[in-house]
Structure 1
């Protein structure tokens, strides 16, 4: 056996396999109903529009640009299109405030690299997005539980970090239809978050991967928009906004973006130059082509489909879940978060559910930095139709009753 693992950096021990990626391997099991993946429905991808866009991108007069090395900041027309879109939600900026990344997951990795020295503190929700923990873990932070209720002082966060000789470097959250809970942070919570960041002198990382997928309720202004309204300019802001086309157009093309003050973007450009030079030019050109033609109408189609599935899951939970089980009621996104009766273990329930009734989901403990939350599970409604959702929840309810 190779002895090379003995030479791995200490951070390698913090890198673990994603439970979600492992669960995706189960999707091909015959008869399995999966609420695990949290991935877009491929039937909703604008495949023909992308086929046409790639064909245009490979025409002779475009090949030199689409197949060549490019600038690390990203394809300028796409960055300008993003500028126009985020202006609609209260974020005025220019193209130099935008960096194109290989999905928003790459943005999280870069931000971990930019801000975290070993032992520094990252504030995250309990629970929070598993992919964010995976991205940050490599930079060896300590975690503290982010609270925006106003019940915890900035001094208590600073004291906890200082006990280990570290600093609080950022607060990370998904403010709209969060993965895994589906919950949305209200305006007062966003105000509290900004006040906390000012007191701590730390950044705010706003993961907006699901921001476009609102099905009902009144929109809440992005954290970055709230901060700009206070300070007058994005250049004065601590908030870093991460967006993605993965949930609206296509995850496989791996095109996301970051919007932030120019000093942050400039430093992230240097990281990108060292990592992969730039996001694939042809993919950026195709995404710009499709987005500029059909983005709004296509997103409305996606919303309509997922809204029906969200409603079907909430109805099925009300019908089939026993007493003692509670769940969130998201206004958008792809997820419903269940809290099981005390004493039930989500991981054990998953094993029994797959074995006996053929239903998969994600145990909630994976989303906690402190490995708590054993009696929680995440359900995604994005890949199943109403009948399959009802049948899957019926089966799952039976398993919960018998545990």
Structure 2
């Protein structure tokens, strides 16, 4: 007997993450991996977390730290986040904050909250693979989000209606996006806001990398731009998803949503039905570490990662063959390569692993329609500078070999 026949229809749309599978390669010491969006563990504030955990488990504190907590999240952490959001130009209080088990859980909950089968989600082309996976479970259609304003709201609306639903939200990561590293201009962010107003849909702003800026002038978050227009977060349609995974610790799984209370109230219900609350001890530790040195830690991270980004960009200039182009991110963790037409990133990966022991993520995984096969994502935050130089040298050899017929595309 097999239970497969009883699975819900949505299961057919859920596939294994290529990135999670590639992360298994990190255990192979001879592979240089540019695959995962992995922070450098040397930069984790381990001593600060050790001290925070010790205090959280001390006499008088352990009852709170090891006990059930509110579904909304640990109040001191929510207050710290609200203050952080005010520093970004978004006047809110702790009632506008929902703590989640990483921003990935936030994306899953928002997909569940907004999407009915056949509704449309507007996403980048390419976009974050984890968002596609989270939304896919709720059986939506996807359409290509255009930050340049070249498509009208009526066009998006008509396409959505033809597919049997309506546009529910636009999802994007406006700062140093995963996978491209591209940052949207203020004008492009305003275009997205105007499109959402015209469509009367939500905007989901994935801000996982926003703190990791290495050069250039910061651009206000989309939620801040909307708040400046409307003067009240309760009137805003933008939902901001933040995370401590790329700044303090991915393993503690603490993220947040900042939004109007009408959204937060419903996310609380989803949280209660899902996992009751994010682990209290983790929230207590994050709250203390953030309160006692977040800005200084971010400054150190930016110095550390900017050096690795510069090493990767310089290595690409030296070792990439003609016909390959790449983004030059102002922050974040990723560089996006576009290959000559006819090359296939998935085929290249197999060849690269076999001949040069170097890994990356093929680009098609980041496209809702599976296109973009002649592209790849490279991570520069995890490998050290020597690995970056050697790995890009190896990758250059792979691309030259393939471009001269060493591997069919």
Q: TM-score range by the shorter chain?
A: over 0.9
Count of residues in Structure 1 that have an aligned counterpart in Structure 2? 402
Secondary structure of the residue that 2:168 maps to in structure 1?
Answer: strand
- The residue number in structure 1 matching 2:315 is 316
2:294 and 2:161 mapped to 1: Cα distance? 46
Q: Counterparts in 2 of 1:317-396, with a 5 A limit? A: 317-396=316-395
Secondary structure of the residue that 1:266 maps to in structure 2?
Answer: helix
Q: Counterparts in 2 of 1:162-201, with a 5 A limit? A: 162-201=161-200
Q: TM-score, normalised by structure 1?
A: 0.99
Secondary structure of the residue that 1:107 maps to in structure 2?
Answer: helix
2:271 and 2:29 mapped to 1: Cα distance? 41
Secondary structure of the residue that 1:338 maps to in structure 2?
Answer: strand
Shift of 1:292: 0.5
- The residue number in structure 2 matching 1:211 is 210
Shift of 1:165: 2.0
- The residue number in structure 1 matching 2:68 is 69
1:226-262 deviation per Cα after TM superposition (whole angstroms, max 9, x unaligned): 0000011111100000000000000000000000000
- The residue number in structure 2 matching 1:86 is 85
1:297 and 1:270 mapped to 2: Cα distance? 36
1:258-310 deviation per Cα after TM superposition (whole angstroms, max 9, x unaligned): 00000000000000001011111111000001111111111111111100000
Shift of 1:30: 2.8
1:9 and 1:39 mapped to 2: Cα distance? 33
Secondary structure of the residue that 2:217 maps to in structure 1?
Answer: coil
Q: TM-score, normalised by structure 2?
A: 0.98
2:5 and 2:152 mapped to 1: Cα distance? 42
Q: Counterparts in 2 of 1:115-154, with a 5 A limit? A: 115-154=114-153
- The residue number in structure 1 matching 2:296 is 297
- The residue number in structure 2 matching 1:60 is 59
- Tell me, which stretches of 5 or more residues in structure 1 are unaligned? none
Secondary structure of the residue that 1:150 maps to in structure 2?
Answer: coil
Secondary structure of the residue that 2:47 maps to in structure 1?
Answer: helix
Secondary structure of the residue that 1:343 maps to in structure 2?
Answer: coil
Moved more, 45-54 or 330-339: 45-54
1:197-247 deviation per Cα after TM superposition (whole angstroms, max 9, x unaligned): 001000000000000000000000000000000011111100000000000
1:354 and 1:30 mapped to 2: Cα distance? 13
Which segments of structure 1 move beyond 3 Å, counting only runs of 4 or more? Answer: none
Please report the RMSD computed on the Cα atoms of aligned residues, expressed in angstroms.
0.6
- Tell me, which stretches of 5 or more residues in structure 2 are unaligned? 403-409
1:193 and 1:51 mapped to 2: Cα distance? 42
In the alignment, structure 1 residue 110 sits paired with structure 2 residue 109: yes
Secondary structure of the residue that 1:55 maps to in structure 2?
Answer: helix
1:334 and 1:149 mapped to 2: Cα distance? 24
1:160 and 1:148 mapped to 2: Cα distance? 17
1:395 and 1:104 mapped to 2: Cα distance? 34
1:355-388 deviation per Cα after TM superposition (whole angstroms, max 9, x unaligned): 1011100000000000000000000001112221
- The residue number in structure 1 matching 2:406 is none
In the alignment, structure 1 residue 17 sits paired with structure 2 residue 16: yes
1:54-89 deviation per Cα after TM superposition (whole angstroms, max 9, x unaligned): 110011211111111111000010000001111111
